[in-house]
Structures are given as structure tokens and as C-alpha cells.
Structure 1
Amino acid sequence: MVAGVSIAGLLLPEAVAYSGIAGLPPQAGVIALFAGLLVYGLFGSSRFAIVSATSSSAAVLFAATTSVTGVDTATRLAMGMGIVLLAGVFFVIAGVARLGAVSSLIAKPVLRGFALGLALTIVVKQLPKVLAVHPAHSDFFRLVAGLAAEWRHWNIAGAAMALVALVLLRGLARWRAVPAALLVIVAGIVLDVNGLCQAWGVAAVGPISLDFSHPTVPQLDRAQWQTLGGLAFAMALILYAESYGSIRTFAMRHGDNVSANRDLLALGGANLLSALFQGMPVGAGYSATSANESAGARSRAAGIVAGLVVLLAVLTLLPWIAHTPEPLLAAIVIHAVSHTLNPAALRPYFEWRRDRLVALVAVAAVLVLGVLDGLLAAIGVSLLLLLRGFSRTTVSWLGRLGQSHDFVDIARHPEAVVPPGVLIARPEVPLFFGNADAVFASIRARIDATPGLQRMVLSLEESPDLDATSIEALCDFAAYVRVRGLRLSLARVKDDVRDLLAKVNSPDLHAEVYAPWSVDDAVQPEESRTPRSS
């Protein structure tokens, strides 16, 4: 209960602030907050996760809705709700299909690079509210240039207000139980009510109206729904990647068990409910989840309590919240994304000399292409990275290590001895349609270059399954080995692959070919071969 009351003071101001990022009225963030806290609090699996509107999903939603040209404001808002609704549908489908590991398709370097670029974009896009200037362009670099060109018209009072708010938020952050954001908002409301903000030229949020009586599905035509499909899929991917990262981080920290598929269903239900009442997309943000843990949460009830406290505040204080100065909301947003502004998050990739370019490309994609196109480009980079890894044609050639039963790569262990007349190959990647032909072409080239061969041993330990292309390539390779007058043995074949090969019923891949369990079994003379576990 203490944790729920504490984080309510953070969640309500952030919900209003994130609505501004998405280009939606303030009530959209508040509705999303209720939907996320209620549904995940009842059905989620993490006792710490707080599901609400997030800065990244707000920025993606704004970019997605503004990317559709030739529509009026009402249609654009309806399309935004359509994206949230479809994202919820994708979550539910993924949960039913048990696709809990789908976020692994986005590589961590890409996700962190995207988060850094997104945080920079969000911060820069908050500056017009702080400085009370509105450059003509909204893309990152031209917005920065426009802000610099308008320096004579900056509202210094608004800038000072935001700076003081950031100092207070930063200073009070060490006491997580203190609702720093709420205290800042209260101070801003006092200033506005007393007429000081108006005298300083600082704008307030304005009226907020909530309507829970008419859940509706956005009225869009078929072409518009089709247009939203890809945008909603990208939204669901980034939401789940962000949520899964937060959920898993705190679960591992406390030794908790969480269910990825259950969380997919909970996130789907929360987004569907939010969309029906014209709310924003929701996910488990890191900052809110961290605040919940630090405030002493012990169960999902903290989120339910926070929702009740927010509901009480909305019912009693809604007219006062309308007096919140916009520079203060901008400061809350900037503080919320500040934990992702540190470039040190990319440092390990430079120290390890792994995926440095990928992380930098993700940052640049967001800054140059914009949030939505940058997100899609980052996801594309992730998938290309995955395919690049799988499509490698690396094949290790094995030899016996001493008098042991171990067979190792002779390139790394030159002391290993290759049995006479035997060639032992081990593909170092799982065989699939993207690499099977190239892998077998590499092995055939080695066979052609090795005189005096009698037997060919192929270790399939890296392939837990084979697709149709790989099976056909393996059958062709087995026929090639037979034509060359060699005997083929498949070693370390997984049970599922054995069952599959039995169904293939190829004369060149009969049961004796894949009978050996280990490479050592495969290289033994046939009359003394005794299968053993290894």
C-alpha cells in the first residue's frame, strides 16, 4: 500500500506528460494508466512491473500517426487508437501462440542504440514547450537548428522553471518513496493559480476531461486498417522488448519466476482496454518499475493501489491538474528518459569489439530517419544481424585429441590427429534454408581436395532441427558422397532430427547412417562400433 501511494505521485504527472509526447489530449495518458495498472495488476506475472504509458511508445505513436498524410485531426486520432488496438491484438495472438521469446528478435545493441537515439529525440522535442518557441521543422537536426536560430525569443522564465524542476527531481530521486514529480507539479499549480505563469508567458496544460462511459472501436475503412497493421506490429515489438527487459531485470534480481506468455496476454488486454477508451499504448517501463521496487512493493497489489490513488486524485483534483505548467511536464519527461541518455550503455560493445557498428547505426537511424522509420530500421538491423549469424558457412574440421574420445577443431588444436582416410566436418551454425547449400558446398570442396578418403563423418550437434531446404540439401550431399564411393556417417544427431530422417526415407540416409551418437562412435570400424552416450 505504501509503494502504491508513493508511485501514484509519479505515475499521474508522467501520464499527462507522455500524452504531450504522443500529440494526444492529457486524458489519453490517464486512461492508459488506469488500463495498464488494472489489467496487469490482475493478470500479470511480475510483482514489480508497472504497466502504463511510456515515453518510447508515446514517441512511436506520434511518429506513426503523423507519418500518414492527407487525413484530418479526428482521423489521425482514430488511427492512433487503431494502432493501440491492433498492438493489443498482436500481443494476444503472440500469447496464445506462446511466442514469449519474440523480443529476442531485437538484438540488445540495437535496442540500446535505439533507446539512446529515442531519448535524445524526446529531450529535444520537449524544448519548444520549455522555451515557448515553435520551429517549423520537427525532425531532430532541423529542430535543433531551428531552436538555436530562435534564441532571441526563448522564454527564460520557462527555461528556469524547467531547470529548477530537473534539479529537484534529481535531488529527490535518492528517496524513491518521495513523490518528487507530484511535489513539482503541486508547486507549478500554485504558481499558475496565482497568475505568475501567465505573467511569465508560461502555458498550462489546460482542461482535462475523462469519459469512461462509451467504449468504442475506431471507425476506419479497410485500407486504413491495412496501413496500420505494420505500424502496430512495430509498436507491439518495441513495447514488448521494453517491457520484457524491465520484467526480466527485476525478476532475476529477486529470484522470481515470470511467465513471458502470460505477460503477453496481460499486455494485450491492457492495450485493448486502453484503445477502447481512447487511451495510449502501455508497457512495463523501466523507470516506473524501478520506482515501484524502491518504494517497497511486494506484490502486484501495489499497482492496484496506485490505480485507486490515481482514480481518487483524478476525481477530486482534475480541475487543478489543468493548471500544470507545460515546462514542468517537459522536465518530468526529460528526467524520466535521463537514465537512457548515458552513452556509457554502449561502452561494453566497444570494449568487447562486438556489434559496435550495429549500436551506432541504431542511434543514427532514429536521429536521421525519425522515431518510426528509425524503429523499423533498427528492427531490420536486428533481423539482418540474426540472418547474418545463421547464414555463416563456417565449418570446423575435427581430429582426435590425444587418446581421448574428444574430437576438436584442428585449426585451434593442431595437436589433434585426424584418423586416416576419414574427414570429419562440423557446421558451426544450425542448418537452415539460408546456409544449407553453402555449407554443403564448402564440405564438398574439401572432399574434392582430400585424396585417399574412405569415410565422411558429419556432426550435426549444432542443428536441433532441419527445415525442408536443409533436408533436401542433406539428401543431395548424401547422394554425392555415395557417388564418390565414400561411406557417410552422421554423428551427434538430435532425437527430433532422427525422427525426421526416418520420415524422409532416403536410401542414402538409412538408419545406420545416423546410428552413431558421438563422433567417436562414427569413426570406429563398423565391426567394433558400439554406440555410447556422449
Structure 2
Amino acid sequence: MTKLGSWVVVDKADLVAGISVAGLMLPEAVAYAGIAGLPPHRAILAGIAGCLIYAIFGRSRFAIISPTSSSAAILAATLAVVPGDATIKAGLATVAVALAGILFVVAGALRLGGITGFISRPVLRGFALGLAITIILHQLPILVGVPVQGSNILTYAAALFGAVLQWNPISVAVGIAALAALLLLKRMPGIPGAFLVLVAGILASYLFGLEAHGVKLVGTIEILPQWPSLPDADWTAYSRLAQFTVPLVLILFAESWGTMRALALRYGETLEVNRELGALGAANIASALVQGMPVGAGFSAGFASEAAGAKTRATTVFAAIGLAILIACAGPLVALLPEPVLAAVVIAALTHALDPSPILRLRRLHRDFYVALGAAVGVLAFGVLNGMLLAIALSLAAMMHRLASPYVARLGRLGGSHNFVDVSRHGDASEMPGIVIWRPGETLFFGNADTIFGAIMSGSRREAGLRAIILSLEESSDIDSTAMDALMEFDKAMQRTGLRVQFARAHDRVRDLMVLAGVPDVGNRCSFSVDDAVTAVMADGNQPKA
């Protein structure tokens, strides 16, 4: 949707994308409401409210704010442990959604979104692959017409394929036909493929009486909006509800931000995480007001929006309107919709997310491959939230290993220039007689300072005729007290052996700290460049005699 003077012009691409996404939101709403043990209308109203409110406050052009599979599973686990009858649990579900919305708003106001910096891109890529596989696998029992239970992904898959003789062949045929049609229509971005397949599914159900052949249908969906009210629950129920609200927020945040950021990175776009936190909060509060379910940027819906060619946030508005019209005007027809077709729509939306090339590229780069792989395996083995936490832990461990075991380069002058480079990588670089120049490849901190200075002392003591050591600190914009103590111990040890230590490219904050720590003669022993440090050493009489 673009503004031209005083006229608002609707982008056709957004309209088509919105209709296509609405065709996906309906089957997802039915499926995710079933996971949570709530009536379908709660997921439908949540999707409508979430999309409309996010369009006002959010900034991602691809995000479709609606119920997600992971949040539905967390909500189901929550309602399973809180005491009370079905009416009380339904009311507590609304309270949980409202609490989640409030926590999102508070987190955005306190600018806690900075923690997303610890979620690296390899983590997001592995997360996306693992989540896509998980969602697809959970749609397969619907497609084949067999209910399946499993405590983890392996037992779930084993139960599914172990019951192959019980698969409904008609259900399988309907699902495969719908999936094939969707994949074919994906090659025609101007056509709302999901919507057309849903219409075809309803027509097939009517003409061939699919329900009589054991194919499950969606059935009647009643939209009964009511003003929310506090359920008559005891303190135990509310306390358990509060305990599960934080995991609910974390899972929504992990899935939503993972989806938003992954899609934004594809197009070089930027998002402000704290604003997105506030937008998610507003969307969940709106969902609570219509007695909906928890909402977030669903992975399958977000990627379906991208695949459909969304240009602006108007797509999410058209998706909400399309879903509302679909339910209001075609309720009896929607009741005839085969569930295998719904499963096929969800699977088709995620097929392109199964592409392993982004992760295989990391292997070719020899960087973070196991972090991405760990994220994917973690999501599959331990669930979305625990898998994401495991991936973040792997990412931090890889970073700490790199920082704690840095490469220390030995520098030499490049030709007759003022540039100093790693002599091991540049054969034409020459070293200064009697001077050795070292440059740590990572910032000095408590975890690597002793290792770095130990390596420098070991390498320097093997040099014959050495008069001075130049230490380039360009990678250390600031250092902690442990690193400063190690630096001073190194300096004193070198002085005791008769070697001068000159510091090059020391940042101002490091110089200030050296003065406060009592490093002698900081002003004369710190140079702004390696070339200046070499000049200072030679001018001080450390140039070796020929």
C-alpha cells in the first residue's frame, strides 16, 4: 500500500499475498487450536486481531502475527497442569495471553531486546531448519488420517511410520494431490495458490463425500466473541499460570524474532527489536481482548508471506480481512474442508525452508557449521525453546573458545611502506633486526591474557640478539583488570631480562587504564602506529649494531 498525494493506492502484490496468507491462516488456526485444546474460533479471532494491531505498531513486512504451533503447545501444557474445569481453563488461557502481552510491552519499554545479539545468524539458520522439520512432521498425521503421540521427535516419527498400515489411503491421496497442486502453483507468484487449493478441497469434499470415506473435515466453526472476564480460579491456578507465562513469552519471542530477523536478513532490511517486542505485546493484548490465543510471527505464515510476494505491511491487513470474510461468508463451506488439505497447505508453506544450502555454506567457510547444526538438532531433539537455548549456548561456547585461544601474529614491514603485516602470510614482509612485533588477534580479557602473554614470552625468548618487543593492542579497545595485571606482569618480566616493551596502537581507554594501574612512562612507551613504535624504539638506542 503506497500513498500518492492524498490517495492511497493498494499494491496488487500485497492484496494477492494477503489472500494467499489468509488461505494458510485458516488451516493453521484450526490445527493450532486443536493443539491447545481450545475451539477454532479463538485461534481465528487471535489471528485477525494480531495482524491488524501489528500492522499499526510493527515494522516487518513479512511477519504474520497469529497463533503458532510452539506457543499452542506451551499453552496446552499450561492448561494441563492448572486446576479447574474446562470453563475455568478457557478463562485462564485468556489471562495467560494478556500476561504474555504485558511482559512483551514491559520488555520493550525496558529495552531488553539487546539480548537478541546473542542469537547469531547460524543459530537462526539452524533454528529455521529444525522448526520447519518439526512442524511438517506434526502435520503428517493429519495428512494420513492417523492420530499419533510421541514424547519427542524420534518417538513421534516412529509412531507415525509404525502405523503405516492404518493410514487412510483416501486421506493420503487428497493430501498428496493438494500438496502437489500447491507446489506447482508456487511457481506462479501472482496466483493465490493456498486459497485456490482450499476451494478445490471444499469442492472435492462436496462432490465425492470424502467424510464417508474416513477423511476428517474441519466441521462447523462458530465465532462467539465475548468480553473477557477473570475466571473463578484459586491462587494455585494463577501461580502455576504465571510460572508458565515466562516460557510462553520466551518461545513466542524466539520463534517470532527468529522468523522476522531471518526474513529481514534475506533482503538487507533492519528491524528495531524493542519496537517489535512492543508490537508483539500489543498484538497479544488485543488477542486477549477477543479471548484469542497467544500470537507471534509464525514461521510458516511468515515464509508464506514472503513466497507470495509481500511488499509492505498491508499484506497482514489484507490477510486479516481475508480471513474474516472467509469465516463470515463461507462458514458452511469451510466446514466441508478436508483436514489433509489443511496439512498440505502448512507443509507447502515450509518446503523452501528445508533448503540446507545456508548451513552447508557455513561448512565450506569453516565457520559456525556446528553451531547451526546444533540449533537444528536441538530444536528437533529438545523442542523449540530448549533447542534455541542450546544453540545459543553453543554459539557462546564457540565465541569463548575463539577468544580464549587467539592467534598471535608476528609482524614485519611490507616492502618499503609504513604497513606492517603478518610475516607468516606475506613472504615479502621483513622484520626489524633486534625488534620483534606481536599482535594478538583478539581483545585481551581475563580468559586469554595469560595465554597470549605466555605465547609472546615463549616466542620472544627464542630470539637471539633481541633488544625490544613491540606489542600492538589494536584489537583491544578496552581491557579488564585481570588482563591489565597480566600486561604489567609481562612488562616487568621483559624488563628483568633487559628487553624494552613498546606499545603500539593502544586505544585511549587502555592508555588511561595503564596510567591508573601504574605502568611506568606510558606517554613515551605508547605509539599511535606500529611504524611510530619502531621509530621510537630505534631512536631510543635499541637499534642493533651491524
Interval containing the TM-score (normalised by the shorter chain):
0.7 to 0.9
Cα distance in 1, alignment partners of residues 537 and 197 from structure 2: 80
Residue 77 of structure 1, CA deviation:
9.2
- Residues 191, 353 of structure 1: CA spacing in aligned structure 2 closer, same or farther, 3 A cutoff? same
Residue 164 of structure 1, CA deviation:
1.2
Output one character per residue of 1:413-458: Cα deviation in whole Å (capped at 9) or x when no partner. 3443332333322111122333233223322333444455443322
SS at match of 2:19: helix
- Residues 176, 259 of structure 1: CA spacing in aligned structure 2 closer, same or farther, 3 A cutoff? same
Match of 1:246 in 2: 263
Match of 2:517 in 1: 506
Contact persistence 1:63–1:372 (CA under 8 A): no
Match of 2:166 in 1: 153
The counterpart of 2:459, out of the listed 439, 446, 459, is 446
The counterpart of 1:214, out of the listed 215, 228, 247, is 228
Residue 216 of structure 1, CA deviation:
6.9
Contact persistence 1:401–1:416 (CA under 8 A): yes
Cα distance in 1, alignment partners of residues 13 and 324 from structure 2: 16
Contact persistence 1:246–1:284 (CA under 8 A): no
Contact persistence 1:458–1:491 (CA under 8 A): yes
- Residues 192, 284 of structure 1: CA spacing in aligned structure 2 closer, same or farther, 3 A cutoff? closer
The counterpart of 2:405, out of the listed 392, 395, 414, is 392
- Residues 417, 506 of structure 1: CA spacing in aligned structure 2 closer, same or farther, 3 A cutoff? same
**Structure 2: which amino acid aligns with 1:45?**
R
| Superposition map of 1:288-307 within 5 A | 288=302, 291=305, 295=309, 297=311, 299-307=312-320
The counterpart of 1:410, out of the listed 423, 427, 431, is 423
Contact persistence 2:410–2:436 (CA under 8 A): yes
SS at match of 1:490: strand
Is 2:139 aligned against 1:126? Answer: yes
**Structure 2: which amino acid aligns with 1:501?**
L
Output one character per residue of 1:82-122: Cα deviation in whole Å (capped at 9) or x when no partner. 4895487357635753746x545334333333322332222
SS at match of 2:517: coil
SS at match of 2:387: helix
Cα distance in 1, alignment partners of residues 353 and 360 from structure 2: 13
Residue 283 of structure 1, CA deviation:
1.7
Which stretch of the first structure deviates more once superposed, 154-163 or 301-310?
301-310
Match of 2:374 in 1: 361
| Superposition map of 1:93-132 within 5 A | 93=107, 96-97=110-111, 99=113, 102-132=115-145
SS at match of 1:505: helix
Residue 459 of structure 1, CA deviation:
1.3
Match of 2:294 in 1: 280
Contact persistence 1:110–1:382 (CA under 8 A): yes
Contact persistence 1:13–1:182 (CA under 8 A): yes
**Structure 2: which amino acid aligns with 1:417?**
S
Residue 339 of structure 1, CA deviation:
0.8
Cα distance in 2, alignment partners of residues 358 and 36 from structure 1: 33
Is 2:215 aligned against 1:198? Answer: no
Task: Say which one has the larger Rg.
Answer: 2
Output one character per residue of 1:12-67: Cα deviation in whole Å (capped at 9) or x when no partner. 34223334247134334434433442233223334x3233237xx52365268549
The counterpart of 1:180, out of the listed 193, 214, 218, is 193
The counterpart of 2:528, out of the listed 507, 512, 517, is 517
SS at match of 1:425: strand
Match of 1:420 in 2: 433
- Residues 353, 506 of structure 1: CA spacing in aligned structure 2 closer, same or farther, 3 A cutoff? closer
**Structure 1: which amino acid aligns with 2:513?**
L
- Residues 151, 305 of structure 1: CA spacing in aligned structure 2 closer, same or farther, 3 A cutoff? closer
Cα distance in 2, alignment partners of residues 140 and 201 from structure 1: 27
- Residues 313, 132 of structure 1: CA spacing in aligned structure 2 closer, same or farther, 3 A cutoff? closer
Residue 158 of structure 1, CA deviation:
1.0
Which stretch of the first structure deviates more once superposed, 26-35 or 223-232?
223-232
Is 2:242 aligned against 1:225? Answer: yes
SS at match of 2:527: coil
Residue 245 of structure 1, CA deviation:
1.8
Match of 2:414 in 1: 401
- Residues 436, 92 of structure 1: CA spacing in aligned structure 2 closer, same or farther, 3 A cutoff? farther
| Superposition map of 1:80-95 within 5 A | 82=96, 85-86=99-100, 89-90=103-104, 93=107
- Residues 244, 111 of structure 1: CA spacing in aligned structure 2 closer, same or farther, 3 A cutoff? closer
- Residues 233, 149 of structure 1: CA spacing in aligned structure 2 closer, same or farther, 3 A cutoff? closer
Residue 215 of structure 1, CA deviation:
7.5
Output one character per residue of 1:382-406: Cα deviation in whole Å (capped at 9) or x when no partner. 2222222222232112122232211
Cα distance in 2, alignment partners of residues 128 and 154 from structure 1: 9
TM-score normalised by L of structure 1: 0.83
Which stretch of the first structure deviates more once superposed, 310-319 or 406-415?
310-319
SS at match of 2:447: coil
Cα distance in 2, alignment partners of residues 77 and 390 from structure 1: 50
Which stretch of the first structure deviates more once superposed, 212-221 or 430-439?
212-221
The counterpart of 2:73, out of the listed 41, 62, 85, is 62
What runs of 5+ residues in structure 2 fail to find an aligned partner? 1-9, 541-546
Output one character per residue of 1:253-300: Cα deviation in whole Å (capped at 9) or x when no partner. xxx665455444434433454456432331275764664685463x43
- Residues 356, 249 of structure 1: CA spacing in aligned structure 2 closer, same or farther, 3 A cutoff? closer
Cα distance in 2, alignment partners of residues 99 and 352 from structure 1: 29
TM-score normalised by L of structure 2: 0.81
**Structure 2: which amino acid aligns with 1:164?**
A
Match of 2:279 in 1: 266
Contact persistence 1:430–1:464 (CA under 8 A): yes
Contact persistence 1:32–1:53 (CA under 8 A): yes
Cα distance in 1, alignment partners of residues 146 and 119 from structure 2: 37
Contact persistence 2:78–2:244 (CA under 8 A): no
- Residues 45, 356 of structure 1: CA spacing in aligned structure 2 closer, same or farther, 3 A cutoff? closer
Identity of aligned residues (%): 32
Cα distance in 1, alignment partners of residues 524 and 261 from structure 2: 43
SS at match of 1:381: helix
Is 2:51 aligned against 1:37? Answer: yes
Q: How many equivalent residue pairs?
A: 518
SS at match of 1:512: helix
Residue 327 of structure 1, CA deviation:
0.9
SS at match of 1:213: coil
Match of 2:4 in 1: none
Output one character per residue of 1:200-259: Cα deviation in whole Å (capped at 9) or x when no partner. 112223434353632879985446534553563354234212211212323x3xxx6654
Residue 334 of structure 1, CA deviation:
0.6
Contact persistence 1:15–1:29 (CA under 8 A): no
SS at match of 1:524: helix
Output one character per residue of 1:327-378: Cα deviation in whole Å (capped at 9) or x when no partner. 1111111111111123344332343344444443333333333444333322
SS at match of 1:525: helix
The counterpart of 2:24, out of the listed 4, 11, 14, is 14
